Structure 1
Amino acid sequence: MKKANIGLFMKHFLKNAFKTKVIYVMLTVFILLTAYAAVSGIHNYSEQNTIRLEHQEKARQSWEANPDKHPHRMAHFGTFAFRMKQPLSMFDYGIESFTGNAVFLEAHRQNSVNFSDAGFSTGTLRFGELSMAMLLQLVLPLILFFLGFSVVVSERENGTLKILLSQGADWKEILLGKSLGLFVLTLLFFAPIVLVTMFFLFFGETSMNPADSWQRFLLLFLGYALFLLILCFMSIVISTTARSSKNALLTLLGIWLFMVVLVPKTSQAIGNAMYPTPSKLSFQSTVERDVIKKGDSHNPNDPYFNRLKDSVLAVHRVDSVTQLPFNYGGFVMREGEKTSANLYKKHHDSLLHIYEKQNNVSRFTAVLNPFVAIKTISMAFTGTDFKGYVDFQEQAETYRYQLAQEMNELQMEYISTTKISGSEGKKHVVGHEHWEEFPDFEHRMQPLQNSLHEASLGIFSLLGWVLLCFLGLGYLSKKAKAI
């Protein structure tokens, strides 16, 4: 196999491709779609982050503006946590439009994340949003298949292959040269999206870690390059094995429909059927029921907390809670918060495990489906996948728990020990300067290592497909026929 011959077949393919006007039309349309998707993505990123940051600042101002107050009343006054969009979310929206972006944080309650874009939009959102990731995952493969379906089969039909082989050309050289030629042509469509994303990372208003964003960018587009290379090989294989150009085109369209529509939808339906999730009302009722069984910190006659009081009095060797060196009401609230948080975490982890099993049904299809593999990789590195959403929930819950316990500690330390319970009145209060001491919530993107772990199956799948394609071309070069 000679490299010069491979380069010759690659140049010949590109020369023929640019002889037709169709390539210019498709490239122009694709660039216009890329421009629209880029402008929409950048505008959505900037607008959403501006709104969320503004509301986060207002929530903080509202928190700090509270006067001297009982700490437990401040714990119930609460605050908000807003999820910031990650820089590369302008490229791939992922599931962000369907998940919430704000949660109210208060003592004793773990509220759900609300205010998703889908909740404020029409039903057309279910058909997807035009993003640059969507263009690469759905539109460009169709263009690629259209450009590559007749590459080999048309030369067999017009007798060119027979002449090439009779002049000493090798099947490996022909197949590899045409595959690489198709890949180079595909890069013309791919390049504008890469350049736009690079321009945004250089000059866009991105407040996140720039080094992390660039690492994600490189891994992301390396994955897309492998994905497109696989599709080029797939097109050449189908074109070589098909009886006619028409059959080759129909086969490639069938592969696209099967891998893009049928497999993902079917796997989602199977996952939901195999691992059903409880309703929101059922989940909340179960948590509240378990909390009541464990003990109600707001009920002075609760058996569990009565036993707790007896043990605390025994440890400190006193007869009354007013003789304790700390406010007993704050101590009870602290223990009650710990109990309710642990119970909620137990049920929430169980619910997430169900969602994980549902998602795994779809994720494992990435082994056989490069379209699912690249989607998994894309959402993981842009931080718009389910794990990114769960990570925000966990950050918000950690902050909520720390805030509630900080207020309980203030009550234990500063509220008079004679104030057994309750938060009414103006006498038993804490200075408002303590509200400023507690830091504001700041959403941080999950570490790159976590994203790599989530994308690992998709990465290995693409690498396996590339290896399989090379082996397939080698096998096909021995079995292919010129007639």
Structure 2
Amino acid sequence: MRKNIVVLIARQFMMQVFKSSVFYALLLIVIAMLMFAAYSGWHSYTVQNEIRTHYQQEARKSWESNPDKHPHRMAHYGTFAFRLKHALSMFDFGMESYTGNAVFLEAHKQNSVNFSEASFSTGLLRFGEISVAMVLQVVIPLIVFFLGFSSVAAERQMGTLKVILIQGASWKELLVGKSTGLMMITTLFYIPAVVVIFFLLLFEGSMESDIMLRYGAIFLFYFIFYVIVSVVTIVISTLSRSSKDALITSLGIWLVFVVLLPRTAQAVGSYFYPAPAKVTFESAIEEDVIRQGDSHDPNDPHFKAIKDSLLHAHGVDSVQHLPFNYSGFIMREGERLSAVTYQRHLKELLGIYERQNDVGKIIAVLNPYMAIRNLSMAFSGSDLFAYQHFQQQAESYRYELAQTMNELQMKYIGNEKEKKGEKPHAIGKEHWMAFPDFKYKFQPFIHIAGTQVWSIASLVLWCVVVFFVVVKVSKTVKVIQNV
């Protein structure tokens, strides 16, 4: 394959596209959509993070402003954890609008994450949001098909294809040259997104190494995706008898890959692995916790057995003689049991979601659109894994808070009950201030990459497939297609 011939064919294709006024109209429309989407994403990111940061600070002030009181009362007083948006979520909204962003943290109870943006929005949100990622995933591939569907088929119809081949160009050089030209045209639609997101990150001061690794990975994967789309477009045009056939085939592939397969994957996953309703999930946890024992009930068999073993181990006949606060010890054990129960049920639920997602992962191997969508959301911090990561951090913080309050009770509160007229047992407010505030930490780059092995493998597989398809087609295709 001669490089100069490939470059010549690519340049000729680009010049032909540049002569069309439709190209410039499409380019302006896409750039306008990208600018609007980028502004919308940036505005949502800044406003939402300002709101969430403000209320996280208010929750902390409320926690620290509590006077001296019993630590168990503080455990039930609780606090809030707010999930901040990742800087790259202004590029890809993902599931951000539909997942909750705040959770109330208290002893003995794992509350659900609430207050999604969708719950405060109109029904128009159901029709979707325009994000930069949506334009790159849905609109630009459609434009690539439109610009490239007639690249070879039209020349076959006009008879110029035979002339090109007679002049010495091989089929492989023609296919690679046309694909290269189409890919170069595609970059004109794609580069504005790369640039505008970079400057938004720079403007927000979000240039940490982990964010830049995510940023680089996202646009590298999009580049690979567009290479695949460009080659597929040229191959379709090469194998089609006419431009009309090529256009119909291209649109059909776009509909199947972008609309039908993603919805089918979701429906199939939910059908074969149905998730329990929220009330069913919470009821199952509550039933198991009650079955294990009630730490607030002094006559509960499970905790009465613990009491007897403690008295025996310390050689005393009453909890008043124990060297630590008995109620605090029991509350600590009750918290441990309820947390273990919750984690077991949550693991089962997440297992169902994982099996549902496995269906999508398998289909993503066959569908590069689903692969790039998954990768885009994951590295933008707006997918299901990011949401679950927040849930896990919030639960770990809640458990640590509750157990810290129980340990303070064991250490500083006596076993004797207050007498009539005495002040209730309490410890100093400095203990509330000493407990650290909730700080949400995003997943590291390497962890995200580990969750997206299937999607990465899909793009790699498609690159290999289109390479062999080009080789195969260049050997078997004819100037005049009979079928």
What TM-score, normalized by structure 1, do the two folds share? 0.98
What pairs up with 1:78-157 in 2 under 5 angstroms? 78-157=78-157
Aligned residue runs from structure 1 range 248-259, under 5 A: 248-259=246-257
Q: Distance in 2 between matches of 1:453 and 1:41?
A: 26
- Could you give the per-residue CA deviations for residues 404-462 of structure 1, whole angstroms, max 9, x where no partner exists? 00000110011112149x9x984300100110000000000012122101222111111
The verdict on how the C-alpha distance between 1:426 and 1:259 changes in structure 2, with shifts beyond 3 A counting, is farther
Contact 1:99–1:116 at 8 Å: present in 2 too?
yes
| Cα distance in 2, alignment partners of residues 376 and 364 from structure 1 | 12
8 Å contact from structure 1 (residues 92, 384) kept in 2: yes
- Residue 35 of structure 2 corresponds to 35
Residue matched to 2:440: 443
Q: What do the CA deviations read for 1:249-285 (whole angstroms, capped 9, x no partner)?
A: 0101000100111111111111111111111111111
| 1:402 equivalent in alignment to 2:400 | yes
Q: Deviation string for 1:41-79 (max 9, x for gaps)?
A: 001000000000000000000000000010000000000
Gapped regions of structure 2 (runs ≥ 5): none
Residue identity matched to 2:444: P
AA in 2 matched with 1:437: A
Alignment-mate amino acid for residue 8 of structure 1: L
The aligned counterpart of 1:53 is 53
User: What letter matches 1:276 in structure 2?
Assistant: P
Residue 429 of structure 1: which of 413, 416, 426 is its match? 426
Residue 229 of structure 2: aligned partner: 231
What is the correspondence of 1:381-420 to structure 2 with a 5 Å cutoff? 381-419=379-417
Distance in 1 between residues matched to 2:73 and 2:422, nearest whole Å: 11
**For residues 158-199 of structure 1, what are the alpha-carbon distances to aligned partners after superposition, in whole Å with 9 as ceiling and x for unaligned?**
111101111111111111000000000000000000001111
Aligned-partner residue type, residue 304 of structure 1: H
Q: 1:457 aligns with which of 451, 454, 458?
A: 454
Letter aligned with residue 315 of structure 2: R
Question: Is the contact made by 1:238 and 1:252 (CA closer than 8 Å) also made in structure 2?
Answer: yes
Question: Which of 281, 304, 320 matches 1:322?
Answer: 320
Structure-2 residue corresponding to 1:271: 269
SS in 2 for 1:103: strand
Q: Secondary structure at the match of 2:97?
A: helix
Amino acid at match of 2:193: I
Moved more, 116-125 or 347-356: 116-125
In structure 2, what is the Cα distance between the partners aligned to 1:473 and 1:279?
49
Q: Deviations over 1:189-228 (max 9, x none)?
A: 000000011111222153xx71100001111100000000
CA distance in 2, matches of 1:70, 1:25: 69
Residue of structure 1 equivalent to 2:186: 186
Contact in 2 for aligned 1:137/1:374 (Cα 8 Å)? yes
Q: 1:309 aligns with which of 296, 307, 310?
A: 307
**Could you say what secondary structure the match of 2:40 adopts?**
helix
The percentage of aligned residue pairs carrying the same residue is: 55
- Distance between the aligned counterparts of 2:422 and 2:375, measured in 1? 56
Give the Å deviation of 1:318. Answer: 0.7
- How many angstroms does 1:384 deviate by? 0.8
C-alpha spacing 1:354/1:317, structure 2 compared with 1 (3 Å): same
**CA displacement 1:321-370 (0-9 Å, x = unmatched):** 00000010100100000000000100111111111111111121111000
Distance 1:119 1:327 in 2: 44
Contact 1:154 1:245 survives alignment (8 Å): yes
RMSD (Å), alpha carbons:
1.3
User: In 1, distance between residues paired with 2:466 and 2:276?
Assistant: 43
Pairwise mapping of residues 324-339 of structure 1 onto structure 2 (< 5 A)?
324-339=322-337
User: 1:111 and 1:12 mapped to 2: Cα distance?
Assistant: 62
Return 271-280 or 135-144, whichever deviates more. 271-280
- Partner of residue 169, structure 1: 169
Q: Distance in 1 between matches of 2:280 and 2:7?
A: 64
Matched position secondary structure for 2:452:
helix
**Pairs aligned (count):** 479
Kindly state the Cα deviation for residue 124 of structure 1 after the two structures are TM-superposed.
2.4
Q: Which amino acid is 1:49 matched to? A: N
**Stretches of structure 1 lacking an aligned partner (at least 5 in a row):** none
Q: Are the aligned partners of 1:162 and 1:482 in contact in 2 as well (CA < 8 Å)?
A: yes
Structure 2 match to 1:4: 4
